[in-house]
Amino acid sequence: MISGAVKAGDGFVVTGGSRFVATLESLEASALVLRAMSSNLERAECALHASRQAVAVSACRTSYTAPRFDDEARRTHARLRRAHEESERCAAAVARAAERYRDEEVGRARAMDGLQNILFQAGPMPGLLDVLGLGGLGAAGARVVPGSTLATLLRSLQSGRLAGSPDDPAGVKRASLPSGTGDATHFSYALKSLRQAQGQEPLDDGSFVPPSSILVERVPRPDGTVAVIVTVPGTQTWALDPEDGNVFDTEGILDGMAYRDSQVRSLIKGALQDQNLGVDDAVLFNSYSQGGIHVLGLLEDREFLERYRVKAVTTVGSPVSAFATPEGIPVLSLTNADDIVPTASGQAAELSGSVVNVRSPSRAGPVAAVLFPQDVVAKAHDLGNYAHDAELLDESGDTAVLAHRAAVNAALGAGLAGGAAAAAAAGTTGLVGGGASGTVGSSGANGGTGSTAGSSQPGGAQRERFAYTAADPRTRG
């Protein structure tokens, strides 16, 4: 019932998830049922006692059955009393078990080791700002007080200090890329896509995704609908507003964490609009670091959720607890014990029915954390190291992890007609194949034609992948 280690010796800790919450609710419901049964038994015991009094042996001297009735009623009365007492004990034990399971889950969520634990105890501000290269914000008008979070700090900035970026229309280009290969339901596939979007790993043809890009992959489903996987990378430059117009900059972090609109969110919205999705098509997100900030912010946008059917989110090294994740959208958050980026929320991850928190163990010993903190931080947040974690996560038997993967599997169409085998039987490439679409074009993200190939052709549709690249034309240099 309690999510535990992903694999013996790996030290992963998994908390939260709808399966766990449902289990706790069933325990609590069982305790209520047992108490109700106990009450019924108590009433039956009283009724039987009244019957014995009504048919007293002394009042029925001439009856041959009265003594036998009284004797049997006495034995039944004793059995009822024992059953009543036992059901009371069971009800109390089940209630205690539910409480202990909940306490254990909360304890696991809060028992962080490594630098995360240190930062949460000391408060992530203002030291986190220095690590992120944002130490100058305190002098820019922000009020840093004990217990501040990056979000509350940004809200305290004077009006207009960071204004402009979300309102600047970024130019967007769309290019067709070689489609992905591999099982898109695997966590390792999500991390591979993130590394490609981050520019750390080439595509299958050896080319690289342009900087300042998100990836959009169309996966045809057996029923003729389509699932779209949107991969959003992390920070690519620490400049506040870089000359090359990259929107994954420091300003993007500030906009996203302040719960304002951002150019990256506009890029995501434009890319989805360009894909001409129907009401039955599904959207999934993979995100890393800053990318998670923008994706999680979109989950707080009711209008966005009314327009698109977001079926699952996998995010890595992101401050998930800074955002209100809606119930019903499965989110798996993978973090490392020494990763300081998730602490930007200023609070530990709490229990949630929608969010599955997976924490990998420290990548360095306690001595390294003291002597080489920057190296420890770098290794903790490194996307390549997270890719290794994802490979281990694919082997997980944890119920919460399996439930999230099942949600991704169903959204990609495997739950519709038996998975990749059924897709192949229907004449599609399924979830594990695909080829390049072979075209390059510019975007309709701000009013283009969109891509329709494969969205409603189950007899011959193939997986397609696109890069949507944004450039901020108004930079401060």
For residue range 70-119, list pLDDT tens digits in order: 777 777 878 878 887 888 888 888 888 878 887 777 776 666 667 676 66
- Please check whether residue 3 lies inside any domain of the structure: no
- pLDDT tops 90 at residue 21: no
Q: Which two tokens stand for residue 194?
A: 């993130």
Lowest mean pLDDT among 31-45, 184-198, 216-230, 395-409: 31-45
What is the rounded distance in angstroms from the CA atom of residue 302 to the CA atom of residue 71?
69
Return the pLDDT at 453.
36
- Please check whether residue 167 lies inside any domain of the structure: yes
Domain termination residue (choose one: 72, 89, 111): 111
- pLDDT tops 80 at residue 439: no
C-alpha dist (Å) from residue 95 to 39, 353, 401:
16, 20, 26
- Please check whether residue 158 lies inside any domain of the structure: yes
Q: How many domains does the chain have?
A: 2
C-alpha dist (Å) from residue 324 to 164, 232, 268, 331:
25, 19, 19, 12
Instruction: Please report the beta strands in 328-387, taking only residues with DSSP state E, as ranges in sequence order.
Output: 331-336, 355-360
Task: Give the residue, 351 or 138, on which the prediction is more confident.
Answer: 351
Domain termination residue (choose one: 84, 111, 138): 111
Instruction: Please report the beta strands in 40-131, taking only residues with DSSP state E, as ranges in sequence order.
Output: none
104 with 225, same domain: the answer is: no
- What DSSP string describes 312-347? EEEEES--GGGS-PPTTS-EEEEEETT--GGGGGSS
What is the rounded distance in angstroms from the CA atom of residue 271 to the CA atom of residue 263?
12
- pLDDT tops 50 at residue 263: yes
Residue count (the chain)? 477
297 pLDDT band, cuts 50/70/90, is very high
Cross-strand partners of 13: 359
Domain that holds residue 155: 123-471
197 pLDDT band, cuts 50/70/90, is very high
- Please check whether residue 59 lies inside any domain of the structure: yes
Return the pLDDT at 6.
47
405 with 261, same domain: the answer is: yes
- pLDDT tops 90 at residue 173: yes
Return the pLDDT at 408.
96
- Please check whether residue 260 lies inside any domain of the structure: yes
Task: Give the residue, 82 or 221, on which the prediction is more confident.
Answer: 221
* β-strands 213-220, 355-360 pairing: unpaired
- Please check whether residue 117 lies inside any domain of the structure: no
- Please check whether residue 272 lies inside any domain of the structure: yes
